[in-house]
Structures are given as C-alpha cells and as structure tokens.
C-alpha cells in the first residue's frame, strides 16, 4: 500500500495504518527528519493514549498507556550494536503483547523473529511524504 500525504493528513494516515496493521510490531524506516516520530505521535493518539509523546532518542524507549494496554515507542538511532539492545532488555519488549513502534529498526533486525509490519517514509519531488506500508508480516522488504 502506498500513501502520499502532507503533515495535516497525519492523523488520517495513522488511522489507516492501524486499520490495516496485521501485527502490533511496526517498523519505521526513513531518513532523519522525514516524519517518523510525528507519525508515531499520531498513531499513539489514535490507539487511545493521552500521554505526551516525545522522541525517545536518549531514553531509547518510551512507554505510553491506553485503556487496552501499553505502547512501546523505540528510537534506536543512538545504539551502536545489538548488544546495547540486549542490555536494555529488547527481547522482553519484543516478546510482549503490547504495541511496539520502532524507529531505526535496522539496528535490531537480527532479533526480529515475530510478525511485523514495515513502513517506509520518503519525500517526493513536491515535498509530500510518500509512505509505503508492507502489511505482509513475513519479510523486511
């Protein structure tokens, strides 16, 4: 699925992602500044959390509450290898039944054995965001 959108459409895009997700683990790919965190903020809100959403760049993972459980938001940009992920307990988070929204998932691809969906975000020539959603949960592409 491919979606072209502007920032004022981000909540509508977030709803479409949640409606089409086949997994509670969603991997977000895209260059710095493309809007991964902004989209995740909208997804967290659509899932029903009233918590303040911020980038977990320094904390690596933020936790948000909903009536139905928890949402884990990861920003793995600052980790250098899989050992750092093991040190903060990545496997416990990944084994949970909660939502897992992961920015910079390239860093932990070797431990992603469960089903997941991928989202790739880029800019087009008119500076609109182009989002590609892979709802088939059996590959990274």
Domain limits at 19? 2-134
CATH number at residue 61: 3.40.50.300
Residue 56 is assigned to a structural domain of this protein: yes
φ, ψ at 10 (rounded to 5°):
-65, -35
pLDDT of residue 141: 40
Tens of pLDDT, residue by residue over 95-107, are 999 999 999 999 8
Residue 141 is assigned to a structural domain of this protein: no
pTM: 0.90
Average pLDDT, the chain: 90
Q: Distance between CA 137 and CA 40 in Å, rounded?
A: 19
Residues 6+ apart with CB under 8 A from 12: 5
pLDDT of residue 122: 94
Q: Is the pLDDT of residue 72 over 70?
A: yes
Tens of pLDDT, residue by residue over 21-67, are 999 999 999 999 999 999 999 999 999 999 988 887 778 999 999 99
Domain count, the chain: 1
Average pLDDT over residues 116-132: 91
């Amino acid at each position: 699925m491919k979606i072209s959108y502007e920032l004022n459409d981000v909540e509508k895009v977030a709803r479409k992602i949640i409606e089409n997700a086949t997994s509670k683990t969603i991997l977000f790919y895209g260059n710095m500044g493309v809007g991964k965190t902004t989209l995740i903020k909208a997804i967290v809100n659509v899932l029903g959390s009233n918590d303040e959403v911020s980038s977990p760049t320094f904390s690596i993972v933020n936790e948000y509450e909903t009536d139905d459980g928890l949402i884990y938001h990861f920003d793995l940009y600052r980790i250098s290898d899989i050992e750092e992920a093991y040190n903060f307990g990545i496997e416990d988070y990944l084994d949970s039944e909660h939502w897992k929204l992961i920015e910079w998932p390239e860093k932990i691809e070797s431990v992603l054995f469960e089903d997941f969906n991928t989202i790739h975000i880029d800019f087009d020539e008119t500076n609109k965001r182009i989002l590609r959603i892979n709802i088939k949960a059996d590959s990274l592409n």
